[in-house]
Amino acid sequence: MANNSTEDSADSVRVALNDLAEGSLNLPAVEVHVWFADLNQHSADNLKPLLAPDEAARADRFHFDKDRNHYVVARALLRKLLAAYLGANAAELQFTYAEKGKPSLRVPSQSLLNFNLAHSHGKAVYAFASGRELGTDLEFIREEFAGEDIAERFFSSAEIESLRSVPADLTKQAFFNCWTRKEAYIKARGEGLSMPLDVFDVSLEPGEPAVFLRNHKEPREASRWSMRALTAPEGYVAALVVEGHSWELKRFTIE
Residue 235 DSSP symbol: T
135 or 8: which leads in pLDDT: 135
Residue 3 has pLDDT above 60, yes or no: no
Residue 167, pLDDT score: 96
Beta carbons of 254 and 39 less than 8 angstroms apart: no
**Side-chain-side CA neighbours of residue 220 (13 Å):** 0
The gap from C-alpha 19 to its chain's centroid, in whole angstroms, comes to 23
CB atoms within 10 A of CB 166: 17
Residue 10, pLDDT score: 65
CB atoms within 10 A of CB 82: 22
Q: What is the mean pLDDT of residues 52-80?
A: 97
pLDDT class of 6 with cuts at 50, 70, 90? very low
| Distance separating alpha carbons of residues 185 and 31, to the nearest angstrom | 19
pLDDT tens per residue across span 218-238: 999 999 999 999 999 999 999
pLDDT tens per residue across span 128-184: 999 999 999 999 999 888 888 999 999 999 999 999 999 999 999 999 999 999 999
Residue 212 has pLDDT above 70, yes or no: yes
Closest of 116, 117, 118, 121 to residue 40, by C-alpha = 121
Residue 7, pLDDT score: 57
Beta carbons of 165 and 123 less than 8 angstroms apart: no
Residue 20 has pLDDT above 70, yes or no: yes
Residue 14 DSSP symbol: E
Closest of 144, 167, 220, 153 to residue 189, by C-alpha = 220
Give bridge partners of residue 35 from the DSSP assignment: 126, 252
| Distance separating alpha carbons of residues 90 and 84, to the nearest angstrom | 8
| Distance separating alpha carbons of residues 173 and 176, to the nearest angstrom | 5
Going from N- to C-terminal start, the domains of the chain cover 13-254
Q: What is the mean pLDDT of residues 21-39?
A: 97
Q: For the domain bounded by 13-254, which CATH number is listed?
A: 3.90.470.20
Residue 4, pLDDT score: 40
